[in-house]
Amino acid sequence: MSGHSGRFRRWLRRAPGRSAFPGVAGAGSGTGHARQNERPAGAGGPPHLRSRWTTLSVAREIFLLQLVLVVLLVAAAVVAIVVQSRRDTMTDARHRTLAAAESFAHSWGLQEALNSDNPTAKLQPLAEEARKASGVDALIVYKLDGITLTHSDPRQIGKHVIGPYADAARGKPFTRTFEGALGLSVISAAPVKDSSGKVVAIVSAPVRVEEVQKSVNRQLPIFLGTAVGALALAGGGAGLMSRRLRRQTHGLGPAEMTRMYEHHDAVLHAVREGVLIVGRGGRLLLANDEARRLLDLPADAEGRYVGDLGLDHRTAELLTSDRTATDEVHLAQDRLLALNKRSTTPYGAHHGSVVTLRDTTELRWLSGRAEVARERLRVLYDAGVRIGSTLNVVGTAEELAQVAVPRFADIVTVELLEPVLKGEEPPVAGSELRRTAVAGLAADHPLYPVGELLRFAPGTPMAARVEQGHSVVEPDLAGSARWRSQDPERVRRILDHGVHSLAVVPLRARGVVLGLVDFWRSGSSPPFDDEDLSFAEELAGRAAVGIDNARRYTRERAMAMTLQRSLMPRGLPGQDALEVAHRYLPAKAGVGGDWFDVIPLPGARVALVVGDVVGHGLHAAATMGRLRIAVHNFSALDLAPDELLRHLDELVTHMDVQDEETEATEEGPAITGATCLYVIYDSVSGRVTAATAGHLPPAVAHPDGRVEFLYSPVSPPLGLGAGLPFETAELSLPEGSRLVLYTDGLVESRSRDLDAGLEALRAALAGPDRTPEDTCATVMTSLLPTRSADDVALLVARTRRLDPAHVAEWDVARDPAAVGPVRNACIRQLADWGLQHIAYGTELILSELITNAIRYGAEPIHVRLLLTRTLICEVSDGSSTSPHIRQAKATDEDGRGLFLVAQFAEHWGTRYSPRGKTIWATQAVGPDALPSEEELREHFLSQGENDGE
C-alpha cells in the first residue's frame, strides 16, 4: 500500500499549484477555470475514471496481500499445532503410563496381596479400577519369573510374558515406545519392593498413542474455525481500507484536484485576510501569507505547536482551545487583530479549526481601556482571595498593601487608629493614627516608617479624610498647598524621591472609620484620576471589612485569653506527695477549654485533674472556669473520684439546661460537651484511684522504664444525661513512678489517629527515669513538633512515699477508759517527732475527736497521726453520722468539743468511706504554730466567763 500511495502523491505533485494540504477548499481563480478541462500528458482515459480505477487497484492489491499473509500465517499455525500436539501426545503417554505404574506399585496393601494364597483374586479388581481411573490400556502385575498376575484381558493371567524388564527387576522404573499390533504404543514399568527394598514384582502400564491422540484431534475444529474467521476478518479489513481510501480522495480525478490546488494557492497568496488552520493537537497546519505577516510567523511555522511560535499568551490560548470566537480583539506586537474562529468538523473528517484575522489597529485605544478594566477586575479578585486570609489586623493591612503594589500604585501605606490595633471599638472622632503596613518602598524612602504615630495637622487631606470619612485624590502633589503644609521638609524629600500623585481613601466599616490607606505613584506612572479613585475606594472597602473582622476577633481572643488566664491555676499549691510539672499550649484557632489542676487533700493525699471542654473562644473558656471551680468545691467535700464525677455530671446537665434556655432568648451558644479525669494519689499507701468521664486514660511510667495506661471502666462525657454510673480503677505505685495526665490535643490530630498517638506517647515516656520537667519537655518535643490545631494540657507528677517513721496508728476500743492511753501514746509520739510545743493543742483535739467517736460512732475506731509539712490527726470509726459544729449555750453541758477543734486546728473536716467516716484536723508544726499552754488556758477561762454572762 505504501508504494502505491507514494506514487499517487508524486503524481499529484506534478499538478500546478501543489501544496501539502490538498483537502482545503479556497476561493476560485481564473487560472483554475482555464485548466479544469485539460488532461495531463499520457492520460489513457477520462480523469475521473482513471482516478477511480487507480484507487480500486490499490484496494485490490491490499486485499490480496492481506489474504496471502493471513493464509500463510494460518498454515504455519496449523503445522505448528500439529507438530506440538504430537509431541505433547507422546509426552502425555509416557507421563500417564509411568504415573499409573508407579502409583499402583506403591499402593497400600499390594505387598499383602502378593504374599497371599491367591494374589490374582485380590489384585485383579484393584488393577482394573486403577486402569480405568488413570486412562491406560492395562495395569499388568508380573512376578520376577514372568508369570502374569493381573491383566485387562483375563485370558492372559497366568501366562509367561517375556519383555525388556531387566531395569525394573533391578529396581529402576522405565518407559519404552514400541510399534505393536495395535499401532504405536508406550509402556512403562515400575518395580514393587518389599520392606527390605528387594524387588518382588513388576507393574507395567501400556497405552496406545492413538487413544491419547483422540483428545488432541477434538481441538482441530477450533483451530480450523479460527483460521476461517481470520480469513473473513482479513477480507473485511481490506474492504474497509478500500472505502477509507476512497473517502480520503473524495472520488476526485486529477482535473478536479488540480483546480482545488489552484484555489488553495489563491487563498495562500492572494487573499488580503489572514487564514490559519490549526489541528486537533494545537499544531499549525496552514498559514497564508497575510497571516504570516500579521503574526510575524517564522518560515517553518507550519507543523509546529502554536505555543512555540512566540504568539501572545491569550492568542495562543484561543488558537489551541475548542471555543469559537467572533471578532475577538487580540494584541499582536503593535497591531490589534480581530479574530474569527470556527471548527472544521462539519466540513471534513479531521477535527481542527480555521481562523481568520483582520488588522484593526484603530481599536487600540479601546482595547487599552478594556485591558485596564480587566486588570482592575483581576486586582479586585486577588484582593477578595488574599485580604482577610488571617484574622490579624496588622496582617490584613499588609495584605492590602501587597495586593495594590505594583499593579495599581507604586507605594501603598496603611494607617490605623490605635484602638483598632488593640481590637477595641474605633473612636467617633480622632486624627492620631499609627502606620501599620507599607509596600513598594525603597531602602532610602522618606515616608514615615511602620510603627510611627502620625498626627495630621488640621486642614490637611489626611486629617479631613479621618474626620469626614471622604476620599480625596491629589494628582499633583507639588502644587497642593494643603498637603505640603503637613510637614514641608518631609514633603520636599518625598517630591525629590519622585512621588508625584496621591489618593487617600478611608477604611470604613459599619459606618465607622478604622484608618486610612494612601496610594502613591512616582516616576513615569500616570497621575491618579477620578476613575482610579473609584477603584481605590472599592479596594479599600473590601479590605476594611477584613480589618474589622480581624479587630473583632482580636478583641474576642484577648477577652478569652484574659478570662482563661484568670481561671487557670497561676501556681501549683505546696504539697509533699507529688513532684509536679505541667504544660499548656493554646490552639492555633484561639483559646480553648482544656484545663488541669493539682488539689491537696487531707490525709497526705493529692488530687490531679485534667478536663477538656469542646469548642474554642469565650464560651469554652467560661465553661472551663465554671467546671474548674466546681471540681474545687466538690474536692473540698473529700469525695471519691466516682462520686465527684457524678456530682459534676449533674452540674453540667443543669448548666446545659440553663444555657439552652438562654440560647432561646439571647441566642447564646450552649455547652456541647466536656470530659474530665480525676485521680487521687495517697502518699501513705502509694495507691492511685482514678475515674474518668469520657477522657483519655492516664499513663503510668514505672521507675524501671515500663509504661502502661490506667484504663478505667468506660464512662460517658459530662452532661450527656445517660444515667450510667461512674466507676473507678485502682493501682498501687512504687515511689518514683510518674503519672501523666493529658488532653486529646496531645495525641490526636488530623494526620494521626488516637492509637498511633498513644503509642507515640508510650515511646516518649519509656526509658530511663526523668524529672517531671524533663518529661514534659520530651513529650511536647516528640509529639508536637509544630503548633497544634487543638489545645494541649499536660500534667506530669512523680510519686513520693511518706516516710513510715512519720506515720503513727492506734486501734481504740469503744470504752471511755481507752481515751487516756491513746492520748498519752500520741503525746509520746509528738515528743519523738520534736513537736512538744504543739502537744497541748493536739491533746485537746485528739481527746475531743476520740471521745466523739466512742460516744456517737461505731467500731472499729482507729487513730492516725501523719507528719508532713503539717501535723494531721485522723480519727476513724464505722459510723457514717457526721458531727456538726455549733455554738453551745451557757446552760449546755456539752457541744463545745468541735468548736475547740475548729479554734485550734488550721483546717478540719470529714470524709466518708465504704467502712464509715474519718474526722481529720491539721495543725501547723512551726515554732509559732499554736499559742502556749498558758495562753490556751486564759482563752478557755475568758470563753467560760463570756458564756457565763
Q: What is the pLDDT of residues 712-722, one digit of tens each?
A: 887 888 888 66
Q: Specify whether the CB–CB gap between 255 and 36 falls below 8 A.
A: yes
Residue 26 in this model has a pLDDT that exceeds 50: no
Query: Cell 496449523, residue?
Result: 78
The rounded radius of gyration (Å) of the Cα atoms in the chain is 53
Percent of the chain with pLDDT over 90: 11
**Residue-level pLDDT at 370:** 67
Q: Is residue 465 very low, low, confident or very high in pLDDT (cuts 50, 70, 90)?
A: low
Over residues 184-207, the mean pLDDT reads 82
Q: Specify whether the CB–CB gap between 612 and 791 falls below 8 A.
A: yes
* C-alpha distances out from residue 907 to 172, 260, 874, 936, 942, Å: 103, 115, 12, 18, 23
**Residue-level pLDDT at 138:** 82
* Total Cβ atoms within 10 A of residue 34: 11
Q: What is the pLDDT of residues 560-611, one digit of tens each?
A: 777 666 666 767 787 888 999 999 887 766 667 788 999 999 888 999 999 9
Do the bridges between strand 861-867 and strand 807-812 make them parallel or antiparallel, or are there none, so unpaired?
antiparallel
Instruction: In whole angstroms, give the CA distance from residue 890 to residue 867.
Output: 37
Query: Cell 526509658, residue?
Result: 767
Cell of 817: 477508759
**Residue-level pLDDT at 644:** 92
Instruction: In whole angstroms, give the CA distance from residue 923 to residue 841.
Output: 9
Residues 6+ apart with CB under 8 A from 263: 25, 26, 27, 28, 29, 32
Q: Could you give the residue ranges of the DSSP H alpha helices within 270-361?
A: 289-295, 313-320
Q: What is the dihedral of CA 942, 943, 945, 949, to 10 degrees?
A: 140
Instruction: In whole angstroms, give the CA distance from residue 801 to residue 796.
Output: 17
Q: Which of 37-51, 628-642, 898-912, 932-946 has the highest mean pLDDT?
A: 628-642
Over residues 509-536, the mean pLDDT reads 87
For the chain, the farthest-separated pair of C-alpha atoms sits apart, in whole angstroms, at: 156
**Residue-level pLDDT at 637:** 85
If you count DSSP H runs as helices and E runs as strands, how many of each does the chain have, helices first? Answer: 27, 31
Q: What is the pLDDT of residues 301-350, one digit of tens each?
A: 888 888 888 888 888 888 888 888 888 888 887 777 888 988 887 665 56
**Residue-level pLDDT at 45:** 44
DSSP states of 123-187: HHHHHHHHHHHHT-S--EEEETT-BEEE-SSGGGTT-B---S-HHHHTT--EEEEEEETTEEEEE
Q: Specify whether the CB–CB gap between 203 and 140 falls below 8 A.
A: yes
DSSP states of 510-562: TTEEEEEEEEEEETTSPPP-HHHHHHHHHHHHHHHHHHHHHHHHHHHHHHHHH
Do the bridges between strand 728-732 and strand 916-924 make them parallel or antiparallel, or are there none, so unpaired?
unpaired
Q: Specify whether the CB–CB gap between 374 and 386 falls below 8 A.
A: no
**Residue-level pLDDT at 857:** 82
Over residues 754-762, the mean pLDDT reads 91
Nearest to 261 by CA among 37, 12, 8, 10: 12
Q: Which of 21-35, 182-196, 408-422 has the highest mean pLDDT?
A: 408-422
Q: Is residue 4 very low, low, confident or very high in pLDDT (cuts 50, 70, 90)?
A: very low
Instruction: In whole angstroms, give the CA distance from residue 491 to residue 494.
Output: 5
DSSP states of 215-279: HHHTTHHHHHHHHHHHHHHHHHHHHHHHHHHHHHHTT--HHHHHHHHHHHHHHHHT-SSEEEEEE
DSSP states of 820-874: HHHHHHHHHHHHHHT-GGGHHHHHHHHHHHHHHHHHH--S-EEEEEEESSEEEEE
Q: Specify whether the CB–CB gap between 149 and 123 falls below 8 A.
A: yes
HSE-CB at 254 with a 13 A cutoff on CA atoms is 26
Q: What is the pLDDT of residues 31-64, one digit of tens each?
A: 334 333 444 433 444 444 444 444 444 445 656 6
- Weakest mean pLDDT among 502-506, 664-668, 725-729: 664-668
Q: Comparing 533 with 621, which gets the higher pLDDT?
A: 533
**Residue-level pLDDT at 156:** 79
**Residue-level pLDDT at 737:** 94
**Residue-level pLDDT at 234:** 66
Q: Specify whether the CB–CB gap between 580 and 772 falls below 8 A.
A: yes
**Residue-level pLDDT at 589:** 62
**Residue-level pLDDT at 91:** 80
Cell of 410: 507604586
Q: Specify whether the CB–CB gap between 438 and 447 falls below 8 A.
A: yes
Nearest to 253 by CA among 549, 481, 53, 117: 53
Over residues 609-616, the mean pLDDT reads 86
Which H/E stretch holds residue 875? strand 870-877
**Residue-level pLDDT at 688:** 95
Instruction: In whole angstroms, give the CA distance from residue 590 to residue 558.
Output: 9
pTM: 0.52
φ, ψ dihedrals at 146, nearest 5°: 90, 5
Q: Is residue 417 very low, low, confident or very high in pLDDT (cuts 50, 70, 90)?
A: confident
Which H/E stretch holds residue 919? strand 916-924
Cell of 894: 456539752
Residues 6+ apart with CB under 8 A from 461: 472, 474, 480, 482, 483, 502, 504
Over residues 797-802, the mean pLDDT reads 92
Over residues 105-118, the mean pLDDT reads 78
